[in-house]
Amino acid sequence: MKRSTLITYNVTKSVGITTNQVLRLDFENVGTITNSNYKKERLKNL
């Protein structure tokens, strides 16, 4: 019982870490894309 609970906990933990990394990457990508679009728009308006 305890052993399987521990395995479940470890799996949940690693899935949580992976999800966090993916979300962080998504936010970084969105930030980068927004940034480059913003720069393009500014260059057009100059």
pLDDT tens per residue, range 1-46: 588 888 888 888 888 888 888 888 888 888 887 888 888 888 887 7
Please state, in angstroms and rounded to a whole number, the distance separating the CA atoms of residues 30 and 20. Answer: 15
- Residue 3 DSSP symbol: H
How confident is the model at residue 1, as a pLDDT? 59
- Residue 17 DSSP symbol: H
Q: Quick one: tokens of 12? A: 């949940």
38 to 18, 21, 31, 45: CA distances (angstroms): 30, 25, 10, 11
Q: Which residues in the chain belong to E strands, given as ranges?
A: none
